[in-house]
Amino acid sequence: MHDIIIIGGGPSGLTAALYALRANKSVLILEKENFGGQIANSPKVENYPTIKEISGSDLTDLMVNQVMDMGAEFELEDVEKVEKNGSIFEVYTNYGKHEGKTVIIANGVRHRTLGLPKEEELIGKGVYYCAVCDGPMYKGKEVYLIGDANTALQYAVLLSGYCTKVHMFCLFDHFFGDPILQDRVREKENVEVTFNMNLVEYKGEEHLEGLVFENTQTHELKEFKTDNVFVSVGQIPDNDKFANLVELEKGFILTDEDMCTKTPGIYACGDTRKKAIKQVVTACNDGAIAAMSAVKYLN
């Protein structure tokens, strides 16, 4: 039995663990993949207070080590459902069941796919979602990138550092990222940006062999031969499994300003909840508030 079970090991969940542990509560953190969350894949973080520049993986490593040293328990398990049994919450995973007096949902979001035929089959076989993880495989080669917001712009800059050329395709006629990142991309001579292009087909069976784009203005189809593409078109929540205990809006969990859901004892924080601004600092803010609310509930 744990005082608080935290679902998700990103900045929000790790901050929640920090505050809960400092309040002398027992904490179990459940993470299905890698601790650190989405920000761990960011090549450079420049907007975290007190740290001028740091990689996302280094930043989250510091967070993980801090709560680990304080006594947090960690398990790499995928949460499948949560049920309330009296005053206790039962968290079911792909490995079994955990019991907690409170639950904090901080499971973030997952990569948005384009939903095209063959996409799932080609993941890891030419279709990638993390340039930090998989980009180095294409060092000295030309790469293709789809996206127009901050992560895509960061990926373009990162890939341009060791790839001969980055072909970047955007659905609309402009970028949506921060101006400073837009400027950095425009300064890269080996980054070629094409606007108003919508990917409509993946070519290849066992491995990616090409991409077919449609020009959204002229509707002309154009095919490119390539064995790689990095897709960076946003993230989506994965909260349907919690719908029995929380209220959802377009997949995101609704909370009040104290991170409380409709079920007493269950809290949500970070990108998984409905909110306007999604940054690592706001995720940490949410995590601190969720933990303090859970501690108040326990006390």
Per-residue pLDDT tens over the stretch 42-65: 777 888 999 999 988 899 999 999
In the prediction, which pLDDT does 110 show?
A: 82
pLDDT digits (tens, 9 = 90+) for 240-254: 999 999 999 999 999
Q: Which parts of the chain have pLDDT scores under 50?
A: none
CATH of 2-111+235-298, one of 3.50.50.60, 3.40.50.720, 3.40.50.2300, 3.40.50.970: 3.50.50.60
Answer whether 0.85 is exceeded by the pTM: no
In the prediction, which pLDDT does 133 show?
A: 75
CA distances from 263 to 33, 113, 260 (A): 27, 31, 8
In the prediction, which pLDDT does 234 show?
A: 84
Cα–Cα distance, 243 to 197 (Å, whole number): 36
In the prediction, which pLDDT does 83 show?
A: 98
Domain coordinates in residue numbering, the chain: 2-111+235-298, 119-231
In the prediction, which pLDDT does 174 show?
A: 94
In CATH terms, are 2-111+235-298 and 119-231 the same topology? yes
In the prediction, which pLDDT does 111 show?
A: 83
Residue partners of 157: CB distance under 8 A and separation at least 6? 43, 181, 184, 185, 188, 191
What is the CATH architecture assignment of 119-231?
A: 3-Layer(bba) Sandwich (3.50)
CA distances from 187 to 150, 181, 184 (A): 16, 10, 5
Q: What is the DSSP string of 119-170?
A: HHHHBTTTEES-HHHHGGGGTTSEEEEE--SHHHHHHHHHHHTTSSEEEEE-
Angle at which helices 11-22 and 56-69 cross, to 10° = 20
Which secondary structure element, helix H or strand E, spans residue 22, and what is its range? helix 11-22
The β-bridge partners of 191 are: 166
